[in-house]
Amino acid sequence: MKTKYLYAILLCGSFVSMYGYANDVVSVYGRAHVGIQNTDKDGDSDTSIESYNSRMGLKGSTQINEGIDVFYKYEFQVEIADQDKDGKSGDNLTARSQYLGIRGKYGQLLIGRDDTAMKKSQGKVDLMNDFSGDINSFFVGENRLGDTVQYSTPAINHLKFTVSYIAEENSKQKDEDGLSLAASYGDSKLKKTSIYIAVAHDNQVAGQDINRVTVQGKLGSFKVGGIYQQSEAIDSNDEVDSYMISASYKVSAYTILAQYQDSDGANGKLKDSGNATSFGIERSLSKQARMYLWYSKFSLDNNEDHDAMAVTLRYDF
């Protein structure tokens, strides 16, 4: 199906829902995030127009009983800067979180495709999320998987538990069921609490056993956080230690960002050991719009070192 027809279906569906069912709460949402990026590898410089996980989605809920809601989400990644076939195919759309669930005072249960408990446990500590310096450069465990049943408890005194079951028929499961577990304390956005702590474990998820600890805290306008992770590949028993530290400082409409990550094994998107250092500035333009200027340098053990920088514009709706 061509992209324009899919958009039309999503938008029409949202209006039908909003005006056809008085008890339903439906919204169309998304993010447009694009930039001009320069990458330098061994003296070879390349400039490109990039989309940084731009997305759009439809979500809603309806009350089926007092205190019990059924909810859903259909979210797609949209490669709005992709020049492949000049956008004349559906290839610039890929599935993100898509599920159906039920929630009430005892928590929520969803079935479909969603971030695992491990991925969710990172909270907001990855300041380079969606950019070249994203922790997925060296970390495994950043999975969004289908064939998933996920249960999350309600937060009690800021303490919450999440468990994801991934069925063996998932293409990444190597014919084994997977289990992702996380326990967290605090508000990941650091608005309700001044500290966020999470402990997570993956058992046979996407070919890995993983243990991860995440901590982030704030003092006034200053935030600092970090992640430590141990992972073991099920097929090879290769063990990898990875860590990341990040810090930010907000001054008026500007936020200064800094992040460093290191891995002693060939993990993550780069499939190599090494480290990455990133710096950036976020400029708030309005409640919905912001700009970024960032730079990342990658020092790799088995491949060429490289660096990247970009100026980006983001709009959330």
Q: What CATH number is given to the structural domain containing 70?
A: 3.10.450
308 in Cβ contact with 295 (< 8 Å): yes
* Other CB atoms within 10 Å distance of the CB of residue 183: 17
Total structural domains in the chain?
A: 1
CA angle 47, 53, 56 (to 5 degrees): 135
| Beta-strand runs (E) in 167-305 | 178-185, 195-205, 208-219, 222-233, 239-251, 254-267, 272-284, 289-300
Concatenating the DSSP letter of every residue in 86-100 gives GG-SGGGEEEEEEEE
Confidence label for 82 from pLDDT (cuts 50, 70 and 90): confident
Q: Which pLDDT value is given to residue 2?
A: 44
Segments forming the whole domain that contains residue 97: 1-34+53-104
Whether residue 29 lies inside any domain: the answer is: yes
Whether residue 12 lies inside any domain: the answer is: yes
Q: Which stretch of 18-22, 46-50, 68-72, 289-293 has the lowest confidence by average pLDDT?
A: 18-22
Whether residue 208 lies inside any domain: the answer is: no
The mean of the pLDDT values for the chain is 91
Q: pLDDT > 70: what percent of the chain?
A: 90
Whether residue 175 lies inside any domain: the answer is: no
* Other CB atoms within 10 Å distance of the CB of residue 94: 11
Whether residue 24 lies inside any domain: the answer is: yes
* Other CB atoms within 10 Å distance of the CB of residue 251: 9
Confidence label for 172 from pLDDT (cuts 50, 70 and 90): very high
Q: Which of 226, 278, 277, 283 is nearest to 250 (CA)?
A: 283
Whether residue 170 lies inside any domain: the answer is: no
Q: Which pLDDT value is given to residue 9?
A: 43
Whether residue 74 lies inside any domain: the answer is: yes
pTM, two decimals, is 0.89
Confidence label for 286 from pLDDT (cuts 50, 70 and 90): very high
Specify burial of residue 105 (Cβ count, 10 A radius: 0-12, 13-18, 19+): exposed
More confident residue, 200 or 89: 200
Whether residue 193 lies inside any domain: the answer is: no
